[in-house]
Structure 1
Amino acid sequence: MINDLPIRKIIHVDMDAFYASVAQMDHPDLKGKPIAVGGGGNRGVVSAASYEARKFGVKSAMSGRLAIKLCPDLIFVKTDFERYREISNRIRKIFLEYTDLVEPLSLDEAYLDVTENKIGLPSASLIAQEIRQRIFNEVGLTASAGISINKFIAKVASDYNKPNGQKTVNPEDVLSFLEDLDIRKFYGVGKVTAEKMYLKGIFTGKDLKSKSLGYLEDNFGKSGSHYYHVVRGIHTSEVKPNRIRKSLAAERTFSKNLSSEIFMLEKLEQISEEVAKRLRKNNISGKTITLKIKYSDFSLQTRSKTLPYFISDKSIILETAKDLLYQNKLNNSVRLLGIALSNLNTEQPKTSKSLQADNLEINVQLKFSF
C-alpha cells in the first residue's frame, strides 16, 4: 500500500459518434439512418460512422467499398472540419465554466480535473452529469463520460456505457474494476497487443496483474512498465490544459494511384504549402521532416531526415521531402503521400520520475466523494 499517490477527480468526456452526430443534427432527414462521414466508392475511406451504421459493422478507417458491402443503405456525407471545430469550441466553453484544467485530446474528447472546481460541487459524478445535460440542451448532441481517480481509468470508464451514459469508478472500486476488465478494454492495448497477450494467457486485468514487472518488460518492451502500473490503478499524469504539440502534418489521398516520382512532385508541393501554412498559423517550427508513403496495397512506409536547425519555410520542407522521395525506389504505385514536421520548438525537456513499483497498490481506504 502507498499513500502518496495523488487522488484526483478526473472526468473524461467523449462525444458520441461526433462527426456523424453533427451531420445528423445539421440535416434532420439523416437522423435514425446509417451514415458514414468520409468518401464512398472505391477510393474513399470512412472517417466516422453513426451508431445506426455501426450495427452493420461499419467503422472508421474502413474502405468505402467495404462499408457499402456491409450496409447497402449507407449514406455518405462529406467531412466539415470547420463545423466540427465550431461545435467543439462551444463544448469547450461549457467545460471551462467548471474548471480551467481542461485537456483536449481531439475535437470530440477531453479530460477535466474537477478536484477543485468553479462551482464548488464536491461530486465529480454530478458535475459530469450536469455537463452532459448542458451539452445536450445547448448544443444538441449527446456525450458519454468516465469519472475516476486518474486519466487512465476515466478514459476506460467513458466507453463503458456509451452512447449517452456515464460510469464512475470510485477509489475503493478501482482495483476490482481493473481486475475484472477485459484486456481489450484497456486504453492503449490494440488488436495486435491483445492477441499477443491472449497467447500468453492474459485475458483480463487480473491475469495482467499476476505478471511481474520484469516479465511484462521482457515481453512488451517499454509498454510493459505502463501495463504493470495502470492495472494497479497507478497513473500519475496530470490534466494539462496546454498540451504540447509534438508534430504537425498534412497528407493527400489520390483519386488514381501514382506510379512515378515525377507525378508526385506537384502533390508534394501542395502538401508542403499546407504544412507551412499550418506552421505559420501556429507560430511553430521543427527539425525533423517525415515523408509518409501509402502504397496501393495499403502498406505504409516512412522516411525521415533531421536538420540541424528549426525550419518552417515551404521551400526547405519541399526540397527535403523530394530528397526523401528519391532516397529509395518505390515499392509499388502510391495512393497517399504525407509530410510531417516533428522535433518542434514547442517541446519541453522531459523530467523523469521513477516509482518504486515492486508491490504498489492504491490505498483503497482513501474515501472520496465521487
Structure 2
Amino acid sequence: MRTVAVVGASLAGLSAARSLRKQGYDGRLVVIGDEPHRPYDRPPLSKDFLAGTLDEADLALETDDEELGAEWLLGTRATGLDRGERSVRLADGRKARVDGLVIATGAAARRLPGAEGLAGVHVLRTLDDARALRDELARGGRLVVIGGGFIGAEVASTAHALGLDVTVVEAAPTPLAGPLGATMGGIVSALHADHGVRLLCGMGVKGLSGGERGEMRVPPAEGRGSSGTGAPPDGVRGRVDAVLLEDGRSIPADIVVVGVGARPCVEWLEGSGVELDDGVKCGADGRTSLAGVVAVGDCANWYDPRAGAHRRVEHWTGARERPDAAVAALLAGGAAEPGVPRPPYFWSDQYGVTIQFAGHAADADSVTVEEGAVGDRNVLAVYRRAGEPVAVLGMNQPRLFMRWRKWLAAATS
C-alpha cells in the first residue's frame, strides 16, 4: 500500500493513524475530517467543558511533539467512495485516491423534527455544539433535556451545578434501561431526584413551541423520534419557550437539549459496495465487505464472537482500542487471525458520582449488588447469565470495579 486514507478525524481516526505508523506503515497517510478542528476529546464536552472548568486546549488528543507524517484534510466531508478507481470523493470536489481505507466517520446526534429554526434548541456531539450550549447555559434559566441517556444525564448534572432549573423528559419507563438494565438503570437515574432535578419517565414529546408570535411547532407523527430534517414553516423564527408533551402538558423552557441518541454517519457509503447494517458491517477484526477497507469507532458494527452477533459499540475505549486490530487486518490483507476484543467499557460522571460499566447488560439474566449500599449511590453490581458474570457496574467503586473489569476481560477472551 502506498496511500492509506482515514476518513474521520476524531479519536477512532487518530487512533487508526497512530496504529498505522506503530505497525510499520511508512507510506502516504491522509486523514479526512468534516470538522475544521484537529482531533479532540468528546467525553468532557458534556461535563467539564460545558461547566467552563476545561478549555479547548485541554481537549486536544495530540501531544505537542507528535508527528504522524499525515496530510490533514479538515473541514471537508466525504460524500462517496468509488471502488472502481479506489477514491474517496469530497464535498469540495476533490478526490483522494487510496490503496487502503479506514472508515471512522462516527455518528451524528439525532435531532427533533420540527425544531429547526428555533433558537435555544441544542444537540451535543461536537465542539461547536458544546460552545453554543455553554454560552446559553451561562445565562441561566429553565432547561429541559429530552432524553435521559448518559449525554442527557450529564448535561442535566452540569446544568444543575451551574444553577439552572432542570427537567429531564424520558420516553422509556426507566432511563438507561438499555445499557444498564431496568434495575440498575432505575438506581442510577435516581441521582436526578437526589439533587432536585425533575425526571418525567414514560412520557413522549409531541413537539416544541416558540417563535416570534408563539406559534406551536409540532413534528408530523410519522417523524417523531427520527433524524428527519424537514424545513420549518415559512416565516417561523424566534426562540423556544416550551416543550409539549404527549399527554397535553407543556413544560416552560428557555433552553432545550435533545439527547435522543445518535445515528452512524454512513450515508456517503451507499452504493459503494461496503455492506451497511446499523453502520458499517464488519468482521471481528474490522474488515468490511470490500478488500482493503476496514471500519472503526461509532460507525462500525463489528462481529462479536462471544455473542455470535454484530454489535456497534459507541464508547471511547472502543474507539481507542479496536483500531489496532483493524489496522493489523488492513496491512496483513486479512491474513491474521482476529482476536477477541475486550468487553466494552464506558464511564459517566453525574452529580459527583463516577459511574463505570463493562460488558453487556442485555446478556444477563440476573443482577446483584455485591458491595455498597444503593441508598448511598455507592455500589458494585455484577450481571450474570446462568451464574457466569457477563457485566459489572460500579458507582463510586473505582478500585473494586477495575478488578472486576480485568477479571471479566480475562474470562471472556
Query: What TM-score, normalized by structure 1, do the two folds share?
Result: 0.27
Structure having the higher strand fraction is 2
Query: What TM-score, normalized by structure 2, do the two folds share?
Result: 0.25
Structure having the higher helix fraction is 1
